[in-house]
Amino acid sequence: MPIRRSYSFMQSVTLYIIILNVLIWLAQIITYPVIDDLFSLDPKMAASGHVYQFVTYMFLHATLVETSAGVTIYPGHIMMNMFVLAIFGYQLEQALGRRKFMFLYLVSGVGSAAFYMFVMPLFTESAAVSLIGASGAIFGVLAAYAFKYPKSWVYILGLIPLPAAFMVVFLLIEETFLGVMSLQPGVANFGHVGGIITGLLIMTFWKLMNREKKFGEHGFEYVWE
């Protein structure tokens, strides 16, 4: 696998994003529900001018869950997101560089939220539910990784081996189906779809720009497929 840059995980933007998410998650628990109310993506508030929520929501995660024994801390949401980000984010960051990776991450998160707000009212009456989580941004990272390394083998659910390109197609179909059928209440499937689409669009744009730059420098270009 070609890597353009080389620095340790401890120096990566990926690690800083993980640390920031964990710190904010702890702050959410301590101040619950103040941070959630202010910085989650409330569709009505976001549409009426609170545009900062398109960014802040992706740094929040579920904190508490009600069980038969009462209310307890729920780490599953943030643990899963940060685990996937650590695996794929660092490798992609090495290929893109810190600035491009950060741009991709943030814009994928924003695109995820915008797609969620646009599509959700078409399929459900719960479109006013607030959105939190880094999943949209991370799905954008997964899509970009598959775009960059389409033949790299990954494991769906840790069990099913697939080339990265097929993984993204599988996730896109799965998340769209689950969202249309409303089979996962409480999960923003359309936000995941929006993240995938945004990540692919960004990578496609960069690839086209790079080709235009090469063509401009040399005057002609041969492409062997």
pLDDT in tens, 8-29: 999 999 999 999 999 999 999 9
Q: What is the DSSP letter of 69?
A: T
| CA distances for 136 relative to 103, 142, 165, angstroms | 14, 10, 18
Residue 220 falls inside a structural domain: no
- Here the CATH number for the domain that contains residue 182 is 1.20.1540.10
Residue 222 falls inside a structural domain: no
Q: What is the pLDDT of residue 224?
A: 43
Q: What is the pLDDT of residue 5?
A: 63
Q: Assign 145 a pLDDT band (cuts: 50, 70, 90).
A: very high
**What average pLDDT does the segment 140-158 reach?**
91
Residue pLDDT, tens place only, 82-129: 999 999 999 999 999 999 999 999 999 999 999 999 998 888 766 668
**209 vs 24 pLDDT, higher one:** 24
Q: What is the pLDDT of residue 219?
A: 52
Q: Assign 223 a pLDDT band (cuts: 50, 70, 90).
A: very low
3-state SS assignment for residue 129: coil
Q: Are strands 153-156 and 64-67 parallel, antiparallel or unpaired?
A: unpaired
Residues 6+ apart with CB under 8 A from 159: none
Q: What is the pLDDT of residue 215?
A: 59
Q: Which domain holds residue 82?
A: 9-215
- pTM of the predicted protein model: 0.90
Q: What is the DSSP letter of 85?
A: I
Q: What is the pLDDT of residue 157?
A: 67
**186 vs 85 pLDDT, higher one:** 85
Q: What is the pLDDT of residue 216?
A: 60
Tally the domains of the chain.
1
CA 60 to chain centre: 13
Residue 117 falls inside a structural domain: yes
Share of the chain above pLDDT 70, in %: 90
Residue 34 falls inside a structural domain: yes
**What average pLDDT does the segment 41-52 reach?**
92
Judged on CB neighbours under 10 Å (0-12, 13-18, 19+), 215 is exposed
Residue 211 falls inside a structural domain: yes
Residue 52 falls inside a structural domain: yes
Least reliable range by pLDDT among 9-23, 55-69, 211-225: 211-225
Residue 225 falls inside a structural domain: no
| CA distances for 16 relative to 13, 30, 80, 195, angstroms | 5, 21, 17, 20
**What average pLDDT does the segment 175-193 reach?**
93
Residue 4 falls inside a structural domain: no
d(CA 52, CA 99): 21
Q: Assign 2 a pLDDT band (cuts: 50, 70, 90).
A: very low
Q: Which residues pair with 65 in a beta bridge?
A: 72
Q: What is the pLDDT of residue 70?
A: 80
Q: Assign 6 a pLDDT band (cuts: 50, 70, 90).
A: confident
Helical (H) or strand (E) element with 67: strand 64-67
Location of structure tokens 């790299």:
152
Q: Average per-residue pLDDT in the chain?
A: 90
Task: Tokens for 102, please give them.
Answer: 């950060």
**16 vs 220 pLDDT, higher one:** 16
Q: What is the pLDDT of residue 123?
A: 83
d(CA 168, CA 198): 13
